[in-house]
């Protein structure tokens, strides 16, 4: 059986690095590259962490690209500085030089080239804003035909958003951060015919990072990936952390753990609700992950991260 072609576009936060760790353990996936979008991170640190992680996991054949797109509403510095902390994790700094290549072209150009050259349609796994995807579509609209589907951690449908007044005094709190960063990019992707599978806050709210899960991870910290994941979660825990990007990425491997529901939606791009994805009667059809077997999901993570690295 041929492997599932996946191009990963993340934005450098703790959860994005954990999602990268998970994606690299999937036997049926062929990762075509990793693009880092400069959103929930500081970009040089996030690129370093991504490349160091790929080296650590002996996946240094996978190219990394720096997206140079810009969002409208920057993420808070408090969130973004996690990328600098991860860049200094001892586990990721045991080598003097990096093997994983950083490609010379921009991330958006790399996305265009990779899709154009792919032998069959590619799944885009996106765990940050949709700006790099929207920009690549603007650069070459023909790539739409090479995108099999987009699995996106973003948006919120029927519960409160996570853009707080403290960081966005003009917002009404109905949006999720990745959508709020650049709502116009979301709208651009909504205009395509590409199948969209969303992992929204509606489902991620049901999967907090629990003390019990962290204890289970600690028990198997003799495995390097569990040790590294434990460090990441220790850094994340003061922020009331949920499985966002990791949950979305798990869908690529274990979709049977999820139930999925179809919605018709529209994107609000201006005003107090910008970034809101509103459920309407006649709108753009999307699929959204609706529920997850949490126990099986935790078991899956422990299994994927409970293995030795192949040298």
Contact residues toward Ca ion (CB under 5 A) are: 11, 13, 16, 127-128, 245
Nearest to Ca ion of 82, 306 (CB atom): 82
Name which of 80 and 253 has its Cβ closer to Ca ion: 80
CB of 177 to Ca ion, least distance (A): 8
Sign of CA dihedral 7, 266, 182, 171: negative
* Smallest distance, Ca ion to C-beta of residue 129, A: 8
Angle CA 94–95–100, to nearest 5: 120
Q: Return the number of other C-beta atoms located less than 10 Å from residue 219's C-beta.
A: 12
Instruction: Using the minimum distance from each CB to Ca ion, give the nearer residue, 11 or 66.
Output: 11
> Shortest Cβ distance from residue 13 to Ca ion (Å)?
5
If the CB atoms of residues 127 and 265 are measured against Ca ion, the closer one turns out to be 127
CB atoms within 10 A of CB 298: 18
Closest separation between CB of residue 183 and Ca ion, Å?
16
How far is 192 from 147, CA to CA, in rounded Å? 10
What 3-state DSSP class applies to 111? helix
Place of tokens 């990328």: 83
Nearer to Ca ion by Cβ, of 13 and 146: the residue is: 13
Least distance from Ca ion to the Cβ atom of residue 11, Å:
5
Asked whether the beta carbons of 250 and 297 are under 8 A apart, the reply is yes
Q: Which is nearer to Ca ion, 204 or 273 (CB)?
A: 204
From the list 151, 169, 126, the residue with the least C-alpha distance to 9 is 126
Least separation in angstroms between residue 97's CB and Ca ion is: 28
The per-residue DSSP string of 16-80 comes to HHHHHHHHTT-TTEEEEEEEE-SSSS-HHHHHHHHHHHHHHTT-TTS-EEE-----SSPPPHHHH
β-bridge partners, 146: none
Question: Hey, what are 259's tokens?
Answer: 């139930």
Cβ closest to Ca ion, residue 205 vs residue 216:
205
In the complex, minimum distance from the CB of residue 16 to Ca ion, in angstroms, rounded to a whole number: 4
């Amino acid at each position: 059986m041929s492997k599932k072609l996946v191009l990963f576009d993340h934005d450098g936060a703790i959860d994005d690095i954990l999602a990268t760790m998970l994606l690299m353990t999937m036997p049926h996936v062929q990762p075509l590259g990793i693009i880092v979008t400069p959103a929930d991170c500081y970009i040089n640190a996030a690129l370093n962490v991504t490349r160091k992680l790929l080296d650590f996991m002996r996946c240094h054949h996978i190219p990394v690209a720096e997206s140079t797109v810009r969002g409208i509403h920057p993420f808070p510095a408090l969130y973004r500085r996690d990328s600098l902390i991860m860049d200094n994790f001892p586990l990721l700094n045991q080598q003097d030089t990096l093997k994983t290549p950083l490609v010379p072209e921009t991330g958006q150009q790399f996305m265009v080239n990779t899709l154009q050259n792919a032998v069959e349609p590619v799944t885009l796994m996106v765990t940050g804003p949709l700006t790099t995807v929207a920009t690549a579509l603007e650069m070459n609209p023909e790539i739409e035909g090479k995108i099999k589907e987009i699995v996106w951690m973003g948006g919120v449908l029927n519960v409160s958003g996570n853009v707080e007044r403290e960081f966005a005094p003009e917002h009404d709190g109905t949006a999720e951060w990745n959508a709020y960063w650049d709502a116009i990019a979301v709208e651009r992707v909504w205009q395509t015919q590409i199948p969209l599978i969303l992992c929204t806050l509606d489902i991620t709210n049901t999967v907090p990072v629990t003390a019990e899960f962290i204890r289970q991870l600690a028990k198997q910290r003799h495995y390097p990936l569990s040790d590294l994941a434990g460090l990441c979660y220790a850094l994340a825990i003061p922020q009331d952390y949920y499985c966002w990007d990791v949950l979305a990425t798990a869908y690529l491997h274990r979709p049977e753990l999820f139930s999925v529901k179809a919605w018709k939606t529209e994107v609000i791009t201006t005003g107090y609700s910008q970034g809101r994805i509103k459920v309407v009667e006649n709108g753009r059809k999307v699929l959204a992950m609706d529920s997850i077997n949490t126990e099986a999901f935790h078991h899956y993570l422990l299994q994927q991260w409970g293995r030795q690295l192949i040298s």
